[in-house]
Amino acid sequence: MKVNLQLNPLSAWVKKEGKPLIIAGPCSAESEEQMMQTCSELKNIGVDMLRAGVWKPRTRPNSFEGYGLKALPWLLKVKKELGLPTTTEVATPEHIEQALKYETDVLWIGARTTVNPFNVQDIADALRGVDVPVMIKNPVNPDVALWVGAIERIYQAGIKNIAVIHRGFSNFQKSKYRNDPMWQLAIELKTILPEIPLICDPSHICGRRDLIQAVSQKALDLNYDGLMIESHINPVVALSDAEQQLTPHDLGKMLESLQMRNNNSENAFFINQLEDLRQKIDNLDRELIEVLAARVRLVEKIGEYKKDNNVTIFQLERWDQIFKTRPEWGKKLQLTEDFIAEIFKLIHVESIRKQTEVMNKRDLNIS
């Protein structure tokens, strides 16, 4: 799938000089002092845009749900005094109206809103005729089409300044992350919509401070256009997401430690080397496919034998043996056992499919 939208580049709506865009600020705006103290330190460490949640989508009722309307003047004040653009989450047409009344520069749609096309359409309808950039977080569930659908709805309302925020996905499996990054889904989105600016939110992916540096570096290594990171002047007393917020000072140190990598290098030697290595990979991939094809031909032959001798397709001992030995062979060549096991699971599925096809093939030469 490819979707063709005429989006503006990030540089058309935010000031940044060739570097990744850094958005930072507290999970929630808690008071004028908290906003002023946090955001003035963030300005000093070179943050480009300030974030703060005003309406907080919380999993359970009776937890802190944001100060709402009361907090908007605090955002306006930091914007005016520090001269930095601000962004907040909106989930309803009323939020949009109020955020715009208080001159919020950029709006974002949260992960729990992106999942619901009715909500997204209500937001899109409220944005018709309004000139404000919108950032769209991935839906909570790992569904790229739903993410694309939300982008299309906002675009069809006439918004050309759109970015997406990758904040990870809910996952039943136990993981060290609060929301599994599933990087391949963000990459898939970029393949569908190559022009869309992609921002990583390591705070909501990690859920804990100590993982944020590694996830931020990974995002930069994957050529993301920016990072949105939660920062609180005193995270321990934060009213929401206390464990994942960094002080502006720690955020500054973390940002300094990040390695900025180039997307492409002008260096002719590097380009030559890269071309050479890619050619070798192309050749190996061709060989790999030839080997797989030869394996499938043998599997078909075995299928014929099994059919002639009336033997079942699936023979447990044989597959037990394959699943045991192949990862061991891979390990000897420094390949991870899980990687080889996954490949052989796929090969197994295809082998069974092939042999079933052979078994079910009618013999057309019956005399």
Q: Which residues bind ligand PEP (CB under 6 A)?
A: 27, 53, 57, 110-112, 137, 167, 204
Is the CB of 109 or the CB of 340 nearer to ligand PEP?
109
Cα distance between residue 52 and residue 360, in whole Å: 62
* Minimum distance from residue 93 beta carbon to ligand PEP (Å): 18
* Minimum distance from residue 52 beta carbon to ligand PEP (Å): 9
Is the CB of 87 or the CB of 355 nearer to Mn ion?
87
* Minimum distance from residue 257 beta carbon to ligand PEP (Å): 23
Backbone angles phi, psi at 162, to 5 degrees: -125, 140
- Pick one of Mn ion, ligand PEP, none as the site partner of residue 167 (Cβ within 5 to 8 A by kind): ligand PEP
**Treating both helix axes as pointing N-terminal to C-terminal, what angle do 144-156 and 117-127 enclose, rounded to 10 degrees?**
20
Residues 14-53 as x/- pattern, contact with Mn ion by CB under 5 A = -------------x--------------------------
DSSP letters of 89-125? Answer: E--SHHHHHHHHHTT-SEEEE-HHHHT-HHHHHHHHH
* Minimum distance from residue 309 beta carbon to ligand PEP (Å): 58
Is the CB of 82 or the CB of 90 nearer to ligand PEP?
90
- Pick one of Mn ion, ligand PEP, none as the site partner of residue 137 (Cβ within 5 to 8 A by kind): ligand PEP
DSSP letters of 288-336? Answer: HHHHHHHHHHHHHHHHHHHHHTT--S--HHHHHHHHHHHHHHHHHTT--
Is the CB of 213 or the CB of 244 nearer to ligand PEP?
244
* Minimum distance from residue 328 beta carbon to ligand PEP (Å): 42
Is the CB of 148 or the CB of 340 nearer to ligand PEP?
148
Residue 241 touches Mn ion, criterion: CB under 5 A: yes
User: How many CB atoms are closer than 10 A to CB 288?
Assistant: 10
Which long-range contacts (C-beta less than 8 Å, at least 24 apart) are formed by 30-35?
A: 30/67, 30/238, 30/239, 31/74, 32/73, 32/74, 32/77, 34/232, 34/233, 35/74, 35/75, 35/77, 35/78
Is the CB of 27 or the CB of 45 nearer to ligand PEP?
27
* Minimum distance from residue 242 beta carbon to ligand PEP (Å): 12
Cβ-Cβ contacts under 8 Å for 171 (sequence gap 6 or more): 142, 177, 179, 180, 182
Whether 138 and 164 have beta carbons less than 8 Å apart is answered as: yes
- Pick one of Mn ion, ligand PEP, none as the site partner of residue 48 (Cβ within 5 to 8 A by kind): none
Tell me which amino acid residue 267 is.
N
SS3 content of the chain, % helix, strand, coil (to 5): 55, 10, 35
Cα distance between residue 325 and residue 262, in whole Å: 41
Is the CB of 153 or the CB of 167 nearer to ligand PEP?
167
* Minimum distance from residue 165 beta carbon to ligand PEP (Å): 7
- Pick one of Mn ion, ligand PEP, none as the site partner of residue 41 (Cβ within 5 to 8 A by kind): none
* Minimum distance from residue 271 beta carbon to Mn ion (Å): 42
Is the CB of 41 or the CB of 89 nearer to ligand PEP?
89
Which residue in the shown chain puts its C-beta closest to Mn ion?
A: 27
- Pick one of Mn ion, ligand PEP, none as the site partner of residue 49 (Cβ within 5 to 8 A by kind): none
3-class DSSP assignment, residue 198: strand
Binding site for Mn ion (CB under 5 A): 27, 241
